[in-house]
Amino acid sequence: MRGIIWDGERLHVTDALEVRAPGPGEVQVRVLASGVCHSDLSVMDHALRPAPIVLGHEAAGVVETLGEGVAGVRVGDPVMVTTQTPCGHCHDCRKGHYATCPEGFGDPEAQPFTWQGRPVWHWANCSSFAGLITVRAQQIFDTAGIDPVHACVLGCAVTTGHGSVNHLAEVVPGDVVVVLGMGGIGVNAVQAARLAGAARVVAVDVNPEKEASARHFGADAFVIPAADGEEAIACIRAAAEAPIDAVIECSGAASAIDVAGRLAKPGGTTVLIGLPRPGTTLNLDVNRFAWGGRIVSMFNGGNDPARDLPRLIDLARSGRIDLPAQVTQVWPLGEVEDAIAALRAGRVTRAVLDHRL
């Protein structure tokens, strides 16, 4: 099959990638579209995983093959693929901490692919840069009626943005919310805050071209932060027009994380969801928290896929979650370098690779 390999130094678009057949309780999905996320770039930039590896963790396509014992799904069904596989019964799952379940993102040591006779690692329990992927049946969700180019972003951008607001920040009607970073996750956090009934939503990004997108998804104000942290905080607080209940940091930039950690009111919540460089630290005045407040972070926004994805897919079908506006541009698989360059330059909200092109 066709796919993309990261060998530790460069990307290879190849027709010689193979994946193992599905076992009991598994399905094979023919990937039609894959989102490109900054988390994929972090693996390349910071060697977060061994190589060779198939990246990508936002997949939509059709069911290709069923493993033994799989029911309730048919070959040809349109589906998206979640990265999460929480067991549902361990201590963390019982607490609702699905992202810290020991089985929550599959076996990190798995090598389901082969390329040029070599075993190849997978990424985030998905590897959507491959044309065929073998996943657990619990990872797929019906997306009939949604274009796979749009459905693929449900796998990370939508779930992480909405989970950050609903499960981690616990935004309720009347809250004032600030979202830093207007990429795929950030616009979904804005959209989720608006759906949750936030009284005011402030979007923050260093790129002025992101303002139109931020306002489209529901931001009341857009702030281009100053380089000086204190000045940035003052500008954001002025735009908020009231004490800030929730701060969602989506960029992973060290300067943005520093600002985010000092914005929320006493008793407010700061959610750190952007993936920073390894070794990034956060300096805090601990006395601020004597008045109450919390900082929380969890992969995929703390979602329970079995509970949350059907609801998010229904919201997308009804148009209350705008998927098409998140996909700025679509590239053929062979132009992955161009898609990555656009993402790095901040020219897209979400870049998508179409396996059919």
DSSP letter string over 146-167? Answer: S-HHHHGGGGTHHHHHHHIIII
CB 353 within 8 A of CB 332: yes
CB 293 within 8 A of CB 267: yes
pTM: 0.96
In terms of Cβ atoms closer than 10 Å to its own Cβ (0-12, 13-18, 19+), residue 152 is: buried
Give domain 3-157+302-354's CATH number out of 3.40.1280.10, 3.30.70.3450, 3.40.640.10, 3.90.180.10.
3.90.180.10
Q: Is the bond preceding residue 305 a cis peptide, omega within 30 degrees?
A: no
Q: How far apart are CA 254 and CA 280, in angstroms?
A: 7
Q: Which residues are CB-neighbours of 333 under 8 A, at least 6 positions away?
A: 2, 3, 4, 13, 129, 353, 354, 355, 357
The per-residue pLDDT for 182 is 97
Provide DSSP, 253-309.
Answer: -HHHHHHHTTTSPTT-EEEE-S-PPTT------GGGGGG--EEE--GGGG--HHHHH
For domain 161-298, the CATH class is alpha beta
The per-residue pLDDT for 229 is 94
The per-residue pLDDT for 284 is 85
The per-residue pLDDT for 59 is 98
pLDDT-flagged residues of the chain (< 70): none
Q: Is the bond preceding residue 52 a cis peptide, omega within 30 degrees?
A: yes
The per-residue pLDDT for 238 is 98
CB 188 within 8 A of CB 323: no
The per-residue pLDDT for 326 is 97
Phi, psi of 339 (to 5 degrees): -65, -40
The per-residue pLDDT for 149 is 98
Q: What does the domain layout of the chain look like in residue ranges?
A: 3-157+302-354, 161-298
Q: How far apart are CA 66 and CA 172, in angstroms?
A: 41
The per-residue pLDDT for 66 is 98
